[in-house]
């Protein structure tokens, strides 16, 4: 038995297997035990670390504001106490649905009565980017921390959430930072031009060299490490290190090879059940049907990995369960803290702002046909629940009332 395996006493004939050693996997094991399941739980992780949360890797942990132990979901003792068969550094290689077994890299075969896939996502790779950094794992974050401590110039390819959060941490650590984004604004596909401009202005005001509408020709190399970037127009940007942050791809390989329905993630019902009634999916990898939104939604953010496992666990235990939380994410960059809730699909008609946009202390609402589809509060707190009520109501709301800070959000929906 390896040092990374916690043995389990079999307490019942049923065996549940969780593939994925991240936040979603750990929370699923917790929810199963909390829900009274007394059978065998095996938790399979590709990495050799205990399951941990990923947001701190580009936020407080990267910036040195949180210690390493704070990122782990549970300590080692918890898995012993809960009799979770924890198999780390030993990834699943296949799912044999006919035999109802999960095959592991070391040749082991784990039988299952119910299976949860929580394999998350992986960074999109840039071709010919040898020596560049990516940020997905705690080891990735440790390498970037070393750069923030010893480097002088970081080039970031991609102006998404990861890229901008790392840029903020590097800038605050005293590094010169260049962010290279192919679109006309960072985050424009998520937030639209008006709100994306807020983040462009934020980084430029902090001293970041933000270059928009640029194309990467090649990653420059020195001694096997990325040492800068050459753009299509011939411009050369030297750097101590290059971070590539151009999005993520769901890890659907196991599911696809097993014949499960896959479309931008593993397709599930609202109860997180896949096309196989005994297999479930949760977290970044799940494209779950959302009853309120009326469509399948896959969200690569912490809240889904935190909350979906409880619903999946309940469904695995034979209970009626439905995941109906609205998509939610947050970011911290410099002195800006933000929460976003909702889902804008099919476009929007207007963005209504309440508060001071220039001071970066406001709430923005995305409206479609007069109805609030999403809201973002920036440096204003304790309003996310009220924004959720506005979205869930499905009622038309006056743009003038939304923009009026004198009107309580809780008063804008009758009843």
Per-residue pLDDT tens over the stretch 214-240 = 999 999 999 889 999 999 999 999 999
Same domain, 349 and 365: yes
Q: What pLDDT is stored for residue 130 in this prediction? A: 85
Asked whether residue 198 falls in the same domain as residue 257, the answer is: no
Quick: pLDDT tens for 108-146: 999 999 999 999 999 999 988 889 999 999 999 999 999
Where a domain ends, among 214, 246, 278?
Answer: 246
- My answer on whether 24 and 107 are in the same domain is yes
Structurally, the chain folds into a number of domains equal to 3
Percent with pLDDT over 90 in the chain: 93
Q: Among 266, 283, 316, which residue terminates a domain?
A: 316
Q: Same domain, yes or no, for 113 and 183?
A: no
Whole-structure pTM value: 0.94
- Structural domain boundaries enclosing 236: 138-246
Q: Any idea what the CATH number is for the domain that residue 391 is in? A: 3.30.390.30
Residue 253 and residue 232 share a domain = no
- For 339, half-sphere exposure in the C-beta direction (CA atoms, 13 angstrom radius) is 16
CATH number at residue 68: 3.50.50.60
Average pLDDT, the chain: 95
* Residues 117 and 206 occupy one common structural domain: no
Pair 242, 260 in one domain: no
Residue 358 has pLDDT above 80, yes or no: yes
Residues 308 and 396 grouped into a single domain: no
Q: Do 242 and 257 belong to one domain? A: no
| Structural domain includes residue 188 | yes
Q: What is the mean pLDDT of residues 343-349?
A: 91
pLDDT at residue 415, rounded to an integer: 62
Let me know whether 287 and 377 are in one domain: no
Residue 128: per-residue pLDDT: 81
Query: Residue 6: inside a domain, yes or no?
Result: no
Specify the higher pLDDT residue, 350 or 5: 350
Residue 391 in domain: yes
pLDDT tens figures, 43-84:
999 999 999 999 999 999 999 999 999 999 999 999 999 999
Last residue of a domain, one of 184, 219, 246: 246
164 within a domain of the structure (yes/no): yes
Q: Is residue 322 part of a domain?
A: no
267 in a structural domain: yes
pLDDT at 1 over 70: no
Same domain (yes/no): 240, 284 = no
Residue 128 domain flag: no
Provide the pLDDT confidence category of residue 3 given band limits of 50, 70 and 90.
very low
């Amino acid at each position: 038995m390896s040092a990374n395996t916690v043995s389990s006493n079999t307490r019942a004939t049923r065996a549940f297997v969780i593939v994925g050693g991240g936040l979603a996997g750990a929370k699923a094991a917790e929810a199963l035990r909390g829900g009274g399941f007394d059978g065998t739980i095996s938790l399979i992780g590709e990495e050799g670390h205990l399951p941990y949360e990923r947001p701190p890797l580009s936020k407080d942990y990267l910036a040195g504001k949180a210690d390493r132990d704070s990122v782990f979901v549970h300590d080692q003792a918890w898995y012993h106490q809960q009799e979770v068969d924890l198999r780390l550094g030993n990834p699943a290689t296949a799912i044999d649905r006919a035999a109802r077994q999960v095959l592991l890299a070391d040749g082991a075969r784990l039988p299952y009565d119910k299976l949860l896939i929580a394999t998350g996502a992986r960074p999109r790779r840039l071709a010919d980017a040898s020596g560049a950094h990516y940020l997905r794992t705690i080891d990735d974050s440790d390498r970037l921390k070393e750069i923030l401590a010893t480097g002088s110039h970081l080039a970031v390819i991609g102006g998404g959430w990861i890229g901008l959060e790392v840029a903020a941490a590097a800038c605050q650590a005293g590094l010169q930072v260049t962010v290279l984004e192919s679109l006309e604004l960072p985050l424009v596909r998520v937030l639209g031009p008006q709100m994306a401009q807020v983040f462009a202005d934020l980084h430029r005001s902090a001293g970041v060299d933000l270059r928009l509408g640029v194309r990467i020709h090649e990653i420059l190399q020195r001694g096997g490490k990325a040492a800068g970037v050459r753009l299509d127009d011939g411009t050369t940007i030297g750097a101590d290190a290059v971070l590539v942050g151009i999005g993520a791809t769901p890890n659907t390989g196991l599911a696809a090879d097993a014949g499960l329905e896959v479309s931008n993630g593993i397709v599930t019902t609202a109860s997180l059940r896949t096309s196989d009634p005994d297999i479930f999916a949760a977290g970044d990898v799940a494209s779950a049907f959302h009853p309120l939104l009326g469509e399948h939604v896959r969200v690569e953010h912490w809240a889904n990995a935190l909350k979906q496992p409880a619903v999946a666990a309940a469904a695995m235990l034979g209970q009626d369960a439905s995941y109906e939380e609205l998509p939610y994410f947050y970011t911290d960059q410099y002195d800006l803290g933000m929460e976003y809730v909702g889902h804008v699909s099919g476009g929007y008609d207007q963005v209504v702002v309440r508060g001071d946009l220039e001071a970066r202390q406001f709430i923005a609402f995305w409206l479609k046909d007069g109805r609030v589809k999403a809201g973002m509060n920036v440096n204003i707190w304790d309003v996310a629940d009220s924004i959720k009520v506005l979205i869930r109501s499905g009622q038309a709301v006056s743009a003038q009332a939304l923009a009026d800070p004198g009107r309580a959000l809780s008063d804008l929906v009758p009843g």
